Amino acid sequence: MKIDLHIHSKYSYDSFSFPEDIARTAARKGLDGVAVTDHDTIAGWKVMRKATKKYGLLFVPGQEIKTKRGKKIIGDIIGIFLKKEIKSREPKEVIKEIKSQGGIAIIPHPFHILTPFKGHKTNKNKSFRLVTPFKGDIEDYKNLVDAIEVLNARVPLKSSDRKALNFAEKNNLAMTGGSDAHQWKDVGDAYTIAQKAKNLDDFKKAILNKNTRASGGKSPLHSLASPSLARFRIKLESNKKNRSKYDIQYSLEKIKNGLRKYSKKK
């Protein structure tokens, strides 16, 4: 059984994807199901459940929570197999709340240089945000979470995935994969396999029993810009009175084309 465990729909503040497009793409790529893990919201669950049913897919209710300690951003934690929205934001409380629902707690892209899971051990004289890879703080959470995302299709450096894989193996943690798709075309570029699972209960047990593996590849380089483009779109659309729909679409396509040309050069 193959399920993409990390997808963002239009209910995230930085995604283009309508539930119908997500489900259609997942079915076309041969997935058995999808987990929608929108940022800090479960608003898309109802619509996504209908879309997956239409295309004969399984639906895993999830959420990606940006954890904080005070005003300091710590890192993202994904909860899947949830029953209701996670309200906590302090990382250990988030994990506790996920598990109180019978859910599974995953740390996604822990060593991504742009969004590392920073934990709480930081150097007060330096800023680790955006430029510094994870420095080992994840050790404080390895006995609390259920799994590590060892393959993220939007993380451009394979070395980041290798670090996550090594960490999971070293600490006997379950392994998951996900596309982290912010546009529907990228859905299913990476996913989680539970070889013997025949239903969602089996799939959940496979993760908890550490019998899953990640598979797939990398999304196109220009997919890195999808969240920024989505936020830009929202900003433009908030000024619709001054700009036509054509102008907005033209601006977005111009940016996309520029990113594609840059990607080809690389």
What would the pLDDT profile of 168-199 be if each residue is shown by its tens digit? 999 999 999 999 999 999 999 999 999 999 99
Q: Which of 159, 163, 111 is nearest to 133 (CA)?
A: 111
Cα–Cα nearest to 79, from 181, 164, 204: 204
177 or 67: which carries more pLDDT confidence?
177
Q: What is the pLDDT of residue 77?
A: 94
Predicted local confidence at residue 105, as pLDDT:
98
Helix (H, G, I), strand (E, B) or coil at 175: strand
Does the structure show a pLDDT above 60 at 217? Answer: yes
Overall average pLDDT of the 248-262 stretch:
59
- The pTM (predicted TM-score) of the whole model is 0.83
pLDDT at 134: 35
Range in 14-18, 151-155, 246-250 the model is least confident about: 246-250
The tens digit of pLDDT for each residue in 231-244 reads 777 676 666 545 45
- E strand or H helix that includes residue 153: none
Task: Give per-residue pLDDT as tens, 78-131.
Answer: 999 999 999 999 999 999 999 999 999 999 999 887 777 866 444 443 333 333
Helix (H, G, I), strand (E, B) or coil at 92: helix
pLDDT of 72 reads 80
The residue with greater pLDDT, 98 or 75, is 98
Counting residues of the chain whose pLDDT is more than 70, the rounded percentage is 80
Tell me the pLDDT band of 75, cut-offs 50, 70 and 90.
confident
